């Protein structure tokens, strides 16, 4: 197996299937991948692809009914400052007069195969839907390995029908997504009526996070935009945009950055509160939203991607309100059970689901508006949340049916080493859409992402949170330094095959300060840390650790 792994790593390195190193910003390494494709039902895959276009239409229709969006989100704003700020900007754009009614969507609908049968949507991502280019390269790497080494023992065992190309459909996300961006840029220039007077090529502004590790995924979009479409790209953080951007009111609210007209603003940042540490970043967002550049996504599209909107659309009659009976029924085939936790909105179905969740908390998940699974509530904590949170707090959450995906055998390649593991059946489907509300310029399926999450590391962040909270309850709270150290050590575990060492600096000092900490808890954390090898450092949980709990507070809430 190691020989095939070496070939995979060589292919990945030569073809840019890479990520930046967590500790050394100038170094890169092969991205973690599955050595060979993991199985997924053809029926489920084709069903997800079929739903891509109607989901695109749904997002656009909902985004253009702002009264419905505002009403839907009203109950969450008191306890969700981030969503409240997004709504504030959306209202400001509306009041100023939305000068750009053409919206570009690059959406990704994420699914799990529940108990190997029903394909159910986990969430619909409307902003910063990433990994399109890297996932396309993973598919091509898999195809290369199966074609080049069909007689290899591992290929024979894992992919007995490797020579049947229909078993591994092509993934063109790295051409379809940039094609959508390029077409939006072209239409923007046409809509201005000044294409012939514009200096230089049409330009897409990539709004990026500082210290972005997934820059290769973004760079491949940039290079394809230029090579295939002669569309230029500019990468800026929100802070840089505040300093370098302006809007020309005298010229139809053109967005100018460093003297260059921007045709499309493509957000690969701006989806988490951590992207807005001050008013500087919010001011930059407002400036872009009130310009005539085509936004991907618009602020309205981003609001449609919130969990509360997802839950409200699952309510009887709501998706049909936008799509009609036929398309609405088709979309519902992908819905998991979703219920409001706002007491003012609960029907009998929601009340019954809440009662059942208290009795059987393992069958449900409580989700907030925030991006990232690290904010979800699982297991016995579901019961505690439903019984202890105030009604206003609960209004900012939704209750969701927990999906139980089947485990499949997989070979994970990490730091050049193969690891056999049980992986969960997941699928992300990209869709691209451009419309002004009356004219649909394009609507297409744009590729897939088959992420892996090992069964061993599933819900790792919930285990870590539980440990932190229990330390606080026993009178031995973790300091901000402790938590930051934990995150840092887990990050290092992700980037190497080195097992956790109890002599880690923060851990050693923590044990010294709390010698009476129960051994069972020490062993529990040690086990959790051992499982962190494939954990995604880019998750919201790590952002939370690094930004929120690094400010000196001695005790975690």
Say how far apart CA 515 and CA 528 lie, in whole Å: 20
Which residues define the annotated binding site for Mg(2+)? 123, 125, 371
- Binding residues, as ranges, are 108, 123, 125, 218, 307, 367-376, 378, 400-403, 426
Phi, psi of 47 (to 5 degrees): -65, -45
Order of strands, sheet of 33-34, starting from the edge strand that comes earlier in the sequence: 33-34, 407-414, 417-424
User: Which residue from 344, 388, 352 is spatially nearest to 76, judged by alpha carbons?
Assistant: 344
Q: How many CA atoms lie within 13 A of 134 on its CB side?
A: 23
Nearest to 527 by CA among 453, 422, 457, 477: 457
**Which position has the token pair 């839950």?**
311
At what angle are helices 480-494 and 519-530 packed, to 10 degrees? 40
Structure token digits, residue 529: 């840390």
**Tokens for 539?**
């998750």
Distance CA 557, CA 468 (A): 9
Whole-number Å distance between alpha carbons of 105 and 304 = 11
Distance CA(535)–CA(490), nearest Å, equals 8
Task: Please give the annotated binding residues for substrate, written as ranges.
Answer: 108, 218
The first and second tokens of residue 239, run together, are 């802070």
4 CB burial (10 A radius; 0-12, 13-18, 19+): buried
| CA distance between the termini of the chain | 46
Binding residues for ATP: 123, 307, 367-376, 378, 400-403, 426
């Amino acid at each position: 197996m190691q020989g095939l792994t070496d070939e995979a790593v060589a292919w990945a390195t030569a073809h840019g299937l890479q990520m930046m190193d967590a500790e050394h910003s100038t170094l890169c390494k092969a991205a973690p991948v599955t050595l060979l494709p993991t199985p997924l039902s053809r029926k489920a895959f084709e069903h997800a692809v079929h739903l891509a276009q109607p989901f695109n239409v749904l997002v656009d229709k909902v985004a253009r009914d702002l009264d419905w969006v505002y009403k839907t989100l009203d109950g969450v704003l008191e306890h969700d400052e981030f969503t409240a700020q997004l709504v504030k900007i959306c209202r400001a754009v509306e009041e100023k007069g939305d000068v750009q009614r053409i919206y570009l969507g690059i959406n990704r609908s994420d699914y799990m195969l529940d108990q190997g049968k029903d394909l159910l949507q986990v969430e619909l991502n409307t902003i910063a839907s990433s990994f399109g280019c890297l996932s396309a390269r993973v598919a091509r790497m898999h195809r290369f390995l199966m074609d080049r080494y069909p007689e290899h023992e591992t290929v024979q065992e894992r992919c007995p029908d490797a020579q049947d190309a229909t078993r591994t459909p092509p993934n063109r996300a790295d051409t379809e997504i940039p094609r959508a961006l390029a077409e939006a840029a072209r239409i923007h220039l046409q809509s201005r009526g000044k294409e012939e007077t514009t200096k230089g090529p049409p330009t897409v502004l990539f709004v990026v996070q500082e210290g972005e590790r997934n820059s290769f995924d973004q760079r491949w979009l940039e290079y394809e935009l230029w090579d295939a479409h002669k569309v230029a790209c500019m990468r800026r953080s929100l802070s840089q945009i505040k300093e370098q951007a302006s809007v020309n009111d005298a010229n139809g609210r053109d967005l100018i950055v460093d003297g260059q007209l921007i045709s499309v603003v493509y957000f690969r940042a701006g989806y988490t509160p951590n992207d807005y540490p001050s008013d500087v970043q919010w001011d930059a967002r407002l400036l872009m939203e009130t310009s005539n550049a085509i936004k991907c996504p618009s602020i309205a599209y981003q609001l449609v991607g919130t969990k509360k909107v997802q839950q409200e659309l699952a309510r009887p009659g709501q998706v049909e309100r936008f799509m009609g009976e036929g398309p609405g029924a088709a979309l519902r085939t992908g819905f998991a059970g979703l219920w409001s936790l706002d007491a003012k909105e609960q029907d009998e179905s929601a009340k019954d689901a809440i009662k059942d969740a208290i009795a059987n908390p393992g069958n449900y998940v409580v989700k907030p508006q925030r991006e990232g699974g690290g904010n979800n509530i699982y297991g016995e904590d579901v019961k505690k949340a439903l019984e202890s949170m105030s009604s206003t707090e609960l209004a900012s959450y939704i209750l969701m049916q927990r999906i139980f995906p089947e485990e499949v055998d997989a070979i994970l390649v990490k730091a050049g080493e193969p690891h056999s593991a049980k992986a969960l059946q997941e699928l992300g489907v990209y869709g691209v859409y451009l419309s002004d509300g009356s004219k649909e310029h394009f609507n297409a399926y744009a590729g897939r992402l088959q992420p892996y999450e090992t069964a061993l590391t599933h819900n790792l962040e919930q285990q870590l949170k539980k440990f932190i909270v229990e330390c606080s309850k026993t009178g031995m709270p973790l300091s901000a330094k402790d938590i930051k150290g934990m995150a840092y050590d887990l990050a290092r575990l992700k980037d190497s095959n080195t097992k956790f060492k109890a002599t880690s600096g923060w851990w050693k000092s923590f044990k010294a300060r709390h010698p009476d900490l129960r051994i069972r808890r020490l062993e529990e954390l040690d086990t959790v840390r051992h499982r962190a090898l494939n954990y995604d450092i880019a998750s919201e949980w790590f952002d939370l650790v690094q930004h929120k709990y690094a400010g000196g507070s001695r005790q975690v809430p």
